[in-house]
Structure 1
Amino acid sequence: MGEENWRLMTLCLLTAVVALLMVLSIHLHQDVKYWQHLEEVSEKERAARISWEEYSEKVRKEAASEISEVTRRAGQGSARDCPPCNNRKCPPQEKCRTPSCPKCPSCKSECSPCPTSEVDPKTGFTFKIYIYDLPKEFHSDLKREQKRCVSDQYGTEIRIHEELLKSPLRTLDPDEADFFYIPIYGECYLFRENQRSGRDAMSNTNRWFRKALNIVVKETPYWNRTQGRDHIWTFPGARGPHIFKDWKRNIKKSIFLTPEGDRSLSEQFNTWKDIVIPGLEADEEFWSGKLKRDDSFDRDIFAFFKGTIHNRGGKSYSKGLRIILERLLKSEKDIVFAEQTPDCNRKCYKRMMRRSTFCLCPRGWSPWTLRAYQAMMVGCIPVVMANEIEFPYENSLDWKKLTVKIAEKDVNNTLSILRGIPQATIEEKRREIEKVWRMVAWQKPSKPGDAFHSVMRELEGKKRFMKVSSFTFWN
């Protein structure tokens, strides 16, 4: 009897072991299939991304070609592309005779003369901007409560508004305005709401934007006239218009001023209508050029970076680029690539940057970085590592002459790429930077050639295409 029990127990044990092995085998097979599936999905995503980037580049080139053709036709005075008469008393089908369109028919005799697009000697520009008189809760109250917003890199929402308020570009007559500016400090409001409301901050910010838009739409006739196409919003943060969750439904056709010129995010940034602006560097030593004028220092640092490397987001942050660069460069004696430390304050940071030949600008959570503009203000050559980035003024500045751009896939070759750049090329890039660095500096007060005036010049280009182009988008 004992022997039979022993055999039965042995049989049961063997059965259990076999069953366990079968279960493990099945799970192992499923795991293999799961990881194979993940790899297939990742490969499809990579292929789709490459396909989209190729398509985006094709669209960009086609758009650039079309814009060039519009500009050429306008310069030749093509009647078909002449601007419509801006005089409210003239029939809408009448055209203005302007120096740039000498073949255009003039207004009928019963109409008062049409205004021309000649440069205003007071402003140096050909357009006017009307600023909506929104309640102070949308702008100046926030500035007073949140001092940080004035000097933050997102402070362009405040700086542009204040510059426009005192600019001769401003008009108090909305009927003569080419553009309408909506003064709203969204990033500043969100910063305050994050402190007050925590997880409800974005929802509260969305309602706040809707409240401002409701005033613009219901209390004035100008928004509905063009569905907001000639209205300007400043979105100074990396999230762009997404700070206003309902932006697609409400303001998709408006002009956005934003530092995030990421073409891969086609919905939030449109090269045709939107403008890339430099982030705000409020430190006077940077924007005044004071750090550039003293040439008594040696550039004894070959390449420089101080900033966040190990973020709680792990390798998702900076797509892992900063972690790779730290590993690659830590043993190079003439290169500084390190986290910020208490023993090197802002004064130390500026001193090291101005001693450097190259300033490394790897992407963070998003492609753009204030570091590239700081570098230009001290005469350091920005080394950009962000595939999707678009810089300000790309229609007029050749950024290849001002920077070194390293594709994200080539980050492991950073050292050999930089070491291989001839000294003559380095000197040439410095000379090019010297010509244009003020275009990324928000000087105070604003001066011709600085960031504010350069952004306004970009806006003037939008006006030209809006008024001159035969594209139905602007009609």
Structure 2
Amino acid sequence: MATSSFDLLHNFLTRRRDANYHTRTLNDKELFHDRDVFFENYKEMNKSFKIYVYPHRQDDPFANVLLPVDFEPGGNYASESYFKKVLASSHFMTKDPSTADLFFLPFSIARLRHDPRVGINDIQDFIRDYIFNISHVYSYWNRSGGADHFYVACHSIGRSAMEKAVGVKLNAIQIVCSSSYYLSSYVAHKDASLPQIWPRQGDPPNLANERSKLAFFAGSINSPVREKLLQVWENDSEISVHFGHLPTSYSEELLRSKFCLHVKGFEVNTARIGDALYYGCVPVIIANHYDIPFQDILNWKSFSIVVATLDIPFLKKILQGISVEEYSILQNNVLKVRKHFQWHLSPVDYDAFYMVMYELWLRRSSSRIKA
């Protein structure tokens, strides 16, 4: 049955009522779902959590894929390289597999994609062969069918890279940026969302600048959701939507906007949440069925707005309905939470590395199998 205009309006007003209730109670909300539990578990994780990484030599033909990078990661998929590089020198590493809570599969999807010997077409074969090899050389994979193993991937090609390694796809923990409930390869609660973050050092300047724009988005038109956003808001004076060259710098646009839009493209994930948080802009997430990073830990309602793709025509009403006081609470919480979305070569407590480790700690096996 077709939805009438009355039904659409009624549904919108109901969601707006719920949103008003949400913002009125922001003062009563913590940044964490349960702050005390998180901090207690975090201490235990830091003290006892152990990871075994399958060893590979520098002269391995695929050392570039299997070992940590020897440079500071950069670019849109830096999260993958940062995690592996920081883990390699962390106190979580163990050389004794009998003490390990989890086993790390250290292949890099991003580097496999750019390796001319592999490339996009042969990644699935590489992963299949890699799992075959470790399962015949070591006993650890076979004890659990890979359920106590994990890998990390930020590039979207990772969503199909395990098609010929069913044990990885169904059993292993997948820490991936392309964390959509639509994908059959992604299993919520078993897997976890990796934040896609452009690496930046230090705090941004001039956060106290006046934010004269209501909302901002810039990006390519690569999804029906973005097409709808462009169709409705391209010529609006308060919501800046750009699909092309920006008249000012990207950072300036983020700094002068109250809300920054994270809009689903080819995948649900982009680096725009990290961008918004870094520049003190309240993220607005328009990506249905997105398993938001660290949502097991953080209360996203306290520092962001989630808008259903169906409600894009009502976007201005939703954002204008947030009072000055409510916005101030949201933005203050953005400034508190952004430390969880930053990478450091030497990890800092509660930064992105430690938050990913905590997600892994939550997913460790309740009973360790002894060798």
TM-score by length of 2: 0.80
| 2:193 pairs with 1:294 | no
Give the structure 2 partner of residue 216 of structure 1: 134
Alignment of 1:147-296 (within 5 A): 150-193=73-116, 201-248=119-166, 251-265=169-183, 267-284=184-201, 288=202, 290-291=203-204, 294-296=206-208
Kindly state the Cα deviation for residue 125 of structure 1 after the two structures are TM-superposed: 3.5
Give 5+ residue unaligned stretches, structure 2.
Answer: 2-36
- Which structure has more relative contact order (CA 8 Å, sep 6+)? It is 2
In the alignment, is the contact (CA less than 8 A) between 1:206 and 1:243 conserved in 2? Answer: yes
Alignment of 1:126-137 (within 5 A): 126-135=48-57, 136-137=60-61
Partner residue of 1:400 out of 301, 318, 326: 301
Kindly state the Cα deviation for residue 145 of structure 1 after the two structures are TM-superposed: 10
Q: Which amino acid aligns with 1:318?
A: S
| 2:269 pairs with 1:368 | yes
In the alignment, is the contact (CA less than 8 A) between 1:146 and 1:188 conserved in 2? Answer: no
In the alignment, is the contact (CA less than 8 A) between 1:228 and 1:251 conserved in 2? Answer: no
| 2:212 pairs with 1:308 | no
Query: Which stretch shows the higher mean deviation, 248-257 or 422-431?
Result: 248-257
In the alignment, is the contact (CA less than 8 A) between 2:52 and 2:97 conserved in 1? Answer: yes
Give the structure 1 partner of residue 243 of structure 2: 339
Inter-CA distance 159–332: structure 2 relative to 1 (3 Å threshold): same
- Distance in 2, matches of 1:166 and 1:183, equals 14
- Distance in 2, matches of 1:221 and 1:206, equals 23
In the alignment, is the contact (CA less than 8 A) between 2:67 and 2:106 conserved in 1? Answer: no
In the alignment, is the contact (CA less than 8 A) between 2:215 and 2:260 conserved in 1? Answer: yes
- Distance in 2, matches of 1:232 and 1:144, equals 16
Kindly state the Cα deviation for residue 249 of structure 1 after the two structures are TM-superposed: 5.1
Which digits, 9 at most, give the CA deviation of each residue in 1:218-252, with x for residues without a partner? 11111111111111111222343412331325552
In the alignment, is the contact (CA less than 8 A) between 2:274 and 2:341 conserved in 1? Answer: yes
Kindly state the Cα deviation for residue 118 of structure 1 after the two structures are TM-superposed: 11
- Distance in 1, matches of 2:70 and 2:185, equals 27
Give 5+ residue unaligned stretches, structure 1.
Answer: 1-38, 40-74, 76-99, 101-116, 310-316, 470-475
Partner residue of 2:256 out of 339, 342, 355: 355
Partner residue of 1:436 out of 323, 337, 360: 337
For the residue of structure 1 that corresponds to 2:160, the secondary structure is helix
Partner residue of 1:140 out of 39, 45, 64: 64
In the alignment, is the contact (CA less than 8 A) between 1:307 and 1:338 conserved in 2? Answer: yes
- Distance in 2, matches of 1:239 and 1:340, equals 25
| 2:223 pairs with 1:318 | yes
Give the structure 2 partner of residue 80 of structure 1: none
Write 1 or 2 for the structure with the bigger share of helix.
1
For the residue of structure 2 that corresponds to 1:124, the secondary structure is helix
Inter-CA distance 306–224: structure 2 relative to 1 (3 Å threshold): same
Partner residue of 1:467 out of 358, 366, 369: 366
Count of equivalent residues: 330
Give the greater-gyration-radius structure (CA): 1
Which digits, 9 at most, give the CA deviation of each residue in 1:53-80, with x for residues without a partner? xxxxxxxxxxxxxxxxxxxxxx9xxxxx
In the alignment, is the contact (CA less than 8 A) between 2:162 and 2:168 conserved in 1? Answer: no
- Distance in 1, matches of 2:68 and 2:293, equals 29
In the alignment, is the contact (CA less than 8 A) between 2:258 and 2:281 conserved in 1? Answer: yes
- Distance in 2, matches of 1:423 and 1:368, equals 29
- Distance in 1, matches of 2:345 and 2:351, equals 10
- Distance in 2, matches of 1:421 and 1:460, equals 37
In the alignment, is the contact (CA less than 8 A) between 1:139 and 1:185 conserved in 2? Answer: no
Partner residue of 1:448 out of 349, 357, 364: 349
Alignment of 1:73-84 (within 5 A): none
Q: Which amino acid aligns with 2:217?
A: F
- Distance in 2, matches of 1:359 and 1:185, equals 30
In the alignment, is the contact (CA less than 8 A) between 2:207 and 2:280 conserved in 1? Answer: no
Partner residue of 1:330 out of 231, 234, 243: 234
In the alignment, is the contact (CA less than 8 A) between 1:138 and 1:212 conserved in 2? Answer: no
For the residue of structure 2 that corresponds to 1:322, the secondary structure is helix
Q: Which amino acid aligns with 1:427?
A: S
Q: Which amino acid aligns with 2:120?
A: M
Kindly state the Cα deviation for residue 419 of structure 1 after the two structures are TM-superposed: 1.7
- Distance in 1, matches of 2:170 and 2:233, equals 43
For the residue of structure 2 that corresponds to 1:216, the secondary structure is helix
- Distance in 1, matches of 2:106 and 2:161, equals 15
For the residue of structure 1 that corresponds to 2:330, the secondary structure is helix
Inter-CA distance 402–342: structure 2 relative to 1 (3 Å threshold): closer
Inter-CA distance 386–295: structure 2 relative to 1 (3 Å threshold): closer
Kindly state the Cα deviation for residue 437 of structure 1 after the two structures are TM-superposed: 1.1
For the residue of structure 2 that corresponds to 1:243, the secondary structure is coil
For the residue of structure 2 that corresponds to 1:359, the secondary structure is strand
TM-score by length of 1: 0.63
Kindly state the Cα deviation for residue 343 of structure 1 after the two structures are TM-superposed: 5.4
- Distance in 2, matches of 1:410 and 1:183, equals 41
